[in-house]
Structure 1
Amino acid sequence: MTREQVAEMVKALGPEVARELMDAAARGAPGRTESDKGPHPGSVYASPENLGAFAKSVIAAGRRTGAAELVDAAKRFGNADVQKAVQLSKFDSAGVLVPIQQSGEVIEFLRPEAALLKLGVRTQTFKGELHMGRQTGTSEFRWVGEGETVPKSAPKYGKVVLKAHKGMVLADISNDLLRTPGVGDAGVGEDIRATVADGLDDAGFNGDGAGAMPKGLFAQLDAAHTFASTGVTPAAYLADIDKAVELPLTAHVRMGNAAWVLHPTRATALLQLQNSGVWVFRQEMLDRGTIRGFPFVMTTRVPSTRITFSADWRQFIYGIDEDLILSEHDTRAEFDETTIRAIVKADFKARQPKAFSSITYGT
């Protein structure tokens, strides 16, 4: 939220609350992070407990009108940072938009749950639409004899475009839980984080670009780097794994954050694979957490019919456009429940599709 937006928002508030809001806006919202650090200890998004306490404070305070009542509601649920965060929110009977963190901080909020972020993808903040350059071809080197000419060559460039796609979570929370101080804070916060992270992971891997959904990694892979397995024998598995590593390297992709991603069911198949009574992958996977020397991440967000490798996961861009926003709505009053809404905007782009390879297996 800009200073101008804050100024407009506080016009309807009392002088003391307005002064506090403007002072806080100048200092930065409670719990903001520095560019090279994680969340401050005790901030509203530093832990599931703090986030849950903040969400409960929002709902409790949202039904009140005076500044003193807002602070009182915060005191029942959270620490000093939570109390300040509630004071920086504007509430009305139609619902309340509560900024939890700035765009860059959403990544840290999601990191404990998101498989894509564990793989070391490149994160990028943007607004609305962002164009990024990429190299699609290189200049050529040739030997030249005396008096001969060399045809000209030059690097070729293209671009990737990030466009905001909006995702939402709607959750009905029992007011009995929300009225009970100290109960369910971790559950509320953990559920919000896990649900948002899961939805982004699903789209980041499997999104087909239909409707409002962004395109995920599997819809952007180079066709020559996706191939069917040659079988499920030890020899076939080894040959396919070697080919998956070889494809990005022979495409002259520089090695960076190299890693595998696979479904737990496929990981189990590798663990159980034996060749003449000798484990093929088991020892390496259990002792070193690697497959053919490269680390792996397991997630149910990828199909069990795929094993995917990248020579550099930084070539996949995880873009966040919008602050993560929470709001509460009394649309379930007859059930004594409150609906919590979470909104995030994102997009995903493979900057260099040849950095990835994927083996597909039959069901």
Structure 2
Amino acid sequence: MTRKQISEMVKALGPEVAQELIDAAARSAHGRMATDRATREGSVYASVASFGAFTKGVVAASRRSGAIALTDAMKRFVNADVQKAVQLTKFDSAGVLAPIQQSGEVIEFLRPEAALLKLGVRTQPFKGELHMGTQTEASVFKWLGEGGTVPKSAPKYGKIVLKAHKGMVLTDISNDLLHTPGVGDAGVGEDLRATVADGLDDAGFNGDGTGGTPKGLFVQLGSAHTFANTGTTPAAYLADIDKAVELPLTAHVRMGATAWVLHPTRATALMQLKDSGLFIFRQEMLDNGTIRGFPFVMTTRVPVTRITFCADWRQFIYGIDEELLLSEHDTRAEYDETTIRALVKADFKLRQPKAFSSITY
């Protein structure tokens, strides 16, 4: 082969080589989670700075940098396995897509920003499509008199299907920030974490199932468990809050990860509510972080017109496809910015819709 043919072959192999490097990091001790589900030191998701440094390495790779430039970029990434792999591999092209890590670590990385994850939903890794069984009606217990018979129970079962819906973030990052060691790493990581978490929260709560959007919580809620408020007086608020708690419990839903979710403006309305000059919810909310004894999470991703309760948020299935993809999508040279793309595949399903109730205002 001529020198030119060898060069072309190396360029063609570049994307595959880059993927092998990142897959090796994902399989390494540094890339895995500990047995207690904590992220190991040195992992891509160990800190926002680590994730930001890795993102910057992917950007360098997507520009098809030479071996020296790419090696220098990846040396700044803290994962020792990736550093070693880059040093031992020489190639001229690194490809534009670099899949990273397992979905379990993606969840841990997003948790500080995602309201749904704070509520204690069940996270479920899957690839492409996943079928899960669910029980829609339980068995019936009856007492048996002497010589009598008991009819057989007829519990009913169904299934829910998780299908990968593709979501994407295109974020413009200043090249000054992108090239600043340390501070720039944290800035890039924080921006991507907040943006991806916000997009997943929005779909998880409000997705309507149209186009490529998955169906969120409010579309899947049963009509019998969604009701209009009876008023804005203290007595009406109290009655509605009690009813929201009662609905899942009278549907025989076992209590687990119990919590409210509401918009900050609705939370302020509750805290300002008085009866005979005394605040009804304020002290409990400020001192204990609870409403009627159950914890609450505030997020602007839910409508201000709703207060939602769940007896067990583990009945909400938060599915993330295995891979998060990063690449440089475009370079905004006129603004001295780089556009980074983060792509994730996810779906959301209610395993037991009766576990949820929602008041509309």
- Place the TM-score, normalised by the shorter chain, in its bin: 0.7 to 0.9
CA offsets per residue over residues 311-354 of structure 1, 9 Å max, x none?
10000100011311111134434544322110100000000000
CA offsets per residue over residues 201-223 of structure 1, 9 Å max, x none?
00000111111100001111121
1:162/1:91 CA distance change after superposition, 3 Å = farther
- Aligned ranges 1:62-81 → 2 under 5 Å: 62-63=62-63, 65-75=65-75, 77-81=76-80
- Distance in 2 separating the partners of 1:358 and 1:23: 43
1:41/1:257 CA distance change after superposition, 3 Å = same
Q: Which residue of 2 aligns with 1:319?
A: 319
Q: Which residue of 2 aligns with 1:6?
A: none
1:138/1:11 CA distance change after superposition, 3 Å = same
CA offsets per residue over residues 158-179 of structure 1, 9 Å max, x none?
1111111000001222333323
Aligned partner of 1:169: which letter?
V
CA offsets per residue over residues 111-155 of structure 1, 9 Å max, x none?
010000000000101111111111111222334445544433221
- Aligned ranges 1:59-208 → 2 under 5 Å: 59-63=59-63, 65-75=65-75, 77-81=76-80, 84=83, 87=86, 96-208=96-208
- Distance in 2 separating the partners of 1:187 and 1:231: 45
- Distance in 1 separating the partners of 2:213 and 2:176: 35
Pick which of 29-38 and 211-220 moved more.
Answer: 29-38
On the 8 A contact 1:328/1:339 being kept in 2, the answer is yes
Shift of 1:232: 0.8
Q: Which residue of 1 aligns with 2:45?
A: 45
1:12 maps onto 2:10 in alignment: no
On the 8 A contact 2:25/2:81 being kept in 1, the answer is no
CA offsets per residue over residues 209-243 of structure 1, 9 Å max, x none?
11110000111112111111111111111111111
Specify the SS of the correspondent of 1:12: helix
- Distance in 2 separating the partners of 1:95 and 1:12: 9
Q: Which residue of 1 aligns with 2:6?
A: none
Specify the SS of the correspondent of 1:215: coil
Unaligned runs of 5+ in 2: 1-9
On the 8 A contact 1:309/1:358 being kept in 2, the answer is yes
Identity of aligned residues (%): 77
On the 8 A contact 2:101/2:324 being kept in 1, the answer is yes
Tell me the TM-score normalised to structure 2 length. Answer: 0.87
Shift of 1:278: 1.1
Q: Which residue of 2 aligns with 1:5?
A: none
Unaligned runs of 5+ in 1: 1-8
Tell me the TM-score normalised to structure 1 length. Answer: 0.87
- Distance in 1 separating the partners of 2:27 and 2:168: 30
Moved over 6 A (4+): 88-94
Q: Which residue of 1 aligns with 2:354?
A: 354
Specify the SS of the correspondent of 2:359: strand
Aligned partner of 2:78: which letter?
N
1:145/1:345 CA distance change after superposition, 3 Å = same
- Distance in 1 separating the partners of 2:300 and 2:68: 46
- Distance in 2 separating the partners of 1:186 and 1:296: 29
Aligned partner of 1:181: which letter?
P
Aligned partner of 2:98: which letter?
V
- Distance in 2 separating the partners of 1:23 and 1:234: 57
- Distance in 1 separating the partners of 2:141 and 2:83: 62
